[in-house]
Amino acid sequence: MIEKIPFLHRKNMYNIIVEDDITFSALHYILDVLIENDAFVPYEGGEAELYTITFEETCYTVGVDGTDVMVVVK
C-alpha cells in the first residue's frame, strides 16, 4: 500500500511517498544526497526530477517534486 508520510529531516518537513518498507537510516541518507544535489531548489521544469541512489546495496529510484519525495526500490 502506498503511504504519504510527513517526515522531519534537518529541521525541514518532507512528504515521503513509499510503497515498500524503508529504514530511517536509508531515508535520512537519501534525503542528505538529495540536499547535496540541490533537489529541493525550485525549478521551472514542471515534472518531478528523478534520482538513482544506492544505500547498503539497495538501489532506489527517487522522484522529487517540491517537498514530495517518492521512493521506489529498483
Cα dihedral 50→5→44→54 (10° resolution): -20
pLDDT at residue 20, rounded to an integer: 83
pLDDT at residue 45, rounded to an integer: 65
pLDDT at residue 6, rounded to an integer: 95
pLDDT at residue 43, rounded to an integer: 67
List residues bridging with 54 in a β-sheet.
Answer: 59
56 grid coordinates: 547498503
Q: With contact defined as beta carbons under 8 Å apart, do 24 and 49 qualify?
A: no
Strands 12-18 and 3-9: antiparallel
State how far the Cα of 6 lies from the Cα of 32, in Å rounded to an integer: 16
